[in-house]
């Protein structure tokens, strides 16, 4: 594939940086000088420099020039989740049973957990997950949905499909972004009793937040895993990207 001018400029400058022609800590020629050298427009030169910034080789500051900050392209290990199903997902053979379905209003304690204002209304689904009907519970999960999505519990696929997918399919609300937070906690009586462990015993708490395009959370799930009953494996691959 034929390279564009800005790609050629970027490649040439990168070779000069990697070869030491532009040593670490020094500055590249001015934008004006690069335009003249490569017989290019300011737009092409800026696009070329953006590529080098993306590779973590240079940094630009208005009035301060373009500085070489790396003599090699930084290598990091990146974890990639192909989709939200792979983000701390559970084995497909597990089953979930809803024990609580109720409308709640966020109090001070819940506000701290969900990071939302006191008084926020939610529809709560409290559920146990097991390997089979008779197995020891794997975890307890509280699903907090905006009240207008409460009818998902009536869907045929409710127990076989992730809740955020049910909301998208039934209401057209897509997930624009999601976050996962992991903390250690002590189990309160309600969750401890459901998990058949001692009150105040240690557990791993995983909080997932699903946001719409306006960055508003429309689903928050809080999962509690008893000590010793949860293993998390992350797969990483090597790739070049800025530090």
By three-state DSSP, how is residue 164 classified?
Answer: helix
| Sheet order of strands, 217-226 included | 95-105, 121-130, 139-145, 217-226, 202-211, 177-186
Query: For the CA atoms of 144, 145, 150, 154, what is the dihedral angle to 10 degrees?
Result: -70
Mean pLDDT per 10-residue segment, the chain (243 residues) = 85 92 92 94 93 87 85 59 55 82 95 92 94 83 96 89 90 90 92 92 93 93 84 61 51
Position 86 scores a pLDDT of 54
The two structure tokens encoding residue 167 = 């909301």
Each domain of the chain, given as residue ranges in start order, spans 5-73, 84-226
According to DSSP, the β-strands at 121-130 and 95-105 are antiparallel
Instruction: Tell me which H or E stretch contains 32.
Output: helix 31-38
Instruction: Tell me which H or E stretch contains 66.
Output: strand 65-68
The two structure tokens encoding residue 8 = 């050629």
Task: Tell which CATH classification among 1.10.3450.40, 1.10.540.10, 3.40.1410.10, 3.40.50.1360 matches the domain 84-226.
Answer: 3.40.1410.10
The two structure tokens encoding residue 159 = 């127990």
By three-state DSSP, how is residue 55 classified?
Answer: coil
CATH code of domain 5-73: 1.10.10.10
Instruction: Tell me which H or E stretch contains 185.
Output: strand 177-186
* CA angle (61, 63, 64) in 5-degree steps: 55
The two structure tokens encoding residue 190 = 């309600």
* CA angle (69, 72, 75) in 5-degree steps: 105
- Say whether 84-226 and 5-73 share the same fold: no
């Amino acid at each position: 594939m034929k390279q564009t001018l800005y790609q050629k400029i970027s490649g040439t400058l990168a070779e000069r940086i990697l070869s030491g022609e532009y040593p670490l800590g020094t500055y590249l020629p001015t934008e004006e000088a690069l335009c003249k050298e490569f017989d290019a427009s300011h737009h092409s030169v800026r696009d070329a420099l953006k590529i080098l910034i993306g590779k973590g080789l240079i940094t630009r500051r208005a009035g301060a020039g373009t500085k070489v900050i790396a003599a090699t392209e930084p290598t990091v290990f990146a974890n990639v989740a192909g989709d939200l199903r792979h983000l701390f997902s559970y084995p497909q053979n597990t089953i979930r049973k809803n024990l609580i379905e109720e409308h709640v209003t966020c109090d001070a304690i819940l506000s701290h957990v969900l990071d939302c204002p006191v008084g926020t209304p939610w529809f709560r689904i409290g559920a146990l997950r097991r390997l089979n009907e008779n197995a020891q519970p794997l975890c307890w999960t509280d699903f907090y949905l905006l009240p207008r999505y409460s009818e998902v519990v009536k869907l045929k696929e409710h127990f076989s499909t992730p809740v955020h997918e049910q909301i998208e399919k039934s209401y057209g609300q897509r997930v624009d972004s999601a976050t996962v937070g992991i903390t250690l906690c002590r189990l309160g009586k309600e969750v401890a009793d459901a998990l058949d462990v001692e009150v105040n015993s240690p557990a791993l708490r995983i909080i997932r937040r699903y946001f719409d395009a306006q960055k508003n959370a429309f689903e928050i799930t809080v999962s509690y895993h008893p000590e010793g009953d949860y293993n998390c494996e992350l797969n990483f691959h090597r790739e070049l990207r800025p530090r």
